[in-house]
Amino acid sequence: MNEKDYIARYEKRNFDAPLVTVDAVLFTYHEGFLKVLLVKRSAHPEKGKWALPGGFVSETEDNSLEATANRKLKEKTSVIPPYLEQLYSFGGPSRDKRGWSVTVAYTALIAHQCCASAINTVSSVDWLPYSQISQLSLAFDHQEIISRAHERLVQKALYTIVPAFALPETFTLPELQQVHEAIIGKPIQKKSFRRRIEQANLLVDTGEKRSEKGRPAALYRLSESSADHKFIRNLEL
């Protein structure tokens, strides 16, 4: 038999396959806190519990796993996040009561204001402070997924400026530092933080300033491909 015939006769449903879902841990920064987007489950299983936004891969709608993640996030926030990165795949016989399942988890970042309206209009979707999540009873193994996502985000905060995607398009350096500090959970030396960003040319000065109390701060935006930049030396943890 040649390959063409083999493919023609192949029947997926003759084989037992795990369930495949995609889940996203969407972080933002708001009012001093690192927050995670959670969705209250309206259907079985785990009905009524908070869970990560996500769901089954659609063979017709999705051209990639990333597409599934973006589609699911858009359903809940009405926008596609500016930063999305695959985190890890979790699989096993008992993480979902329906049977052997795999979820491909993504980490995403977005500015809080970007989807504030979409979220405030429904009660089943909300931002929860990361620090409080460990006290909740989440669906499936989502507690573990979130903690793994946070772990990785901490690392990113030490050698990239990826956390900038949790802020609006323009932001001040003190704001960016606050995000980093909220993520890693301890203060950073202002000088070290600014020096490395300047030397690597990761930000573009918009020329504008933002003033609240005290001296106005310069407003920056991310420069081209600065999301990919890795410092060769980490900040101290």
Partner DNA sequence: ATAATAGTGTCTTTCAGACATTATCTA
Partner DNA sequence: TAGATAATGTCTGAAAGACACTATTAT
Residues that bind DNA (CB under 7 A): 172-174, 188-196, 198-199, 209, 211-218, 231-233, 235-236
Which residue's CB is nearer to a copy of itself, number 166 or number 184?
184
Closest residue by Cα to residue 202 from 167, 234, 164, 232: 164
User: DSSP letter string over 144-171?
Assistant: HHHHHHHHHHHHHHHH--GGGGGS-SSE
Is there binding between residue 89 and a copy of itself (CB under 8 A)?
Answer: yes
Which residue's CB is nearer to DNA, number 12 or number 213?
213
Is there binding between residue 102 and a copy of itself (CB under 8 A)?
Answer: yes
Distance CA 134, CA 181 (A): 19
Among 56, 132, 185, 209, binds a copy of itself (CB under 8 A): 56
Which residue's CB is nearer to a copy of itself, number 204 or number 235?
235
Closest residue by Cα to residue 140 from 189, 99, 187, 112: 99
Is there binding between residue 33 and a copy of itself (CB under 8 A)?
Answer: no
Closest residue by Cα to residue 174 from 219, 114, 110: 219
Footprint (CB under 8 A) of a copy of itself, residues 2-31: 3, 6-7, 10, 12-13, 15-20
Which residue's CB is nearer to a copy of itself, number 21 or number 28?
21
Question: What's the min distance (Å) between Cβ of 128 and a copy of itself?
Answer: 23
Distance CA 147, CA 143 (A): 6
93 CB-contact burial (10 Å; exposed 0-12 / middle 13-18 / buried 19+): exposed
SS3 call for 82? coil
Distance CA 52, CA 34 (A): 16
- Among DNA, a copy of itself, none, what binds residue 186 when CB lies within 5 to 8 Å by partner kind? none
Which region, judged by CB under 8 A, interacts with a copy of itself, from 83-91, 165-173, 177-185, 188-196?
Answer: 83-91
Binding site for a copy of itself (CB under 8 A): 1, 3, 6-7, 10, 12-13, 15-20, 44-47, 56-57, 59, 62-65, 86, 88-93, 97-100, 102, 104, 232-234, 236
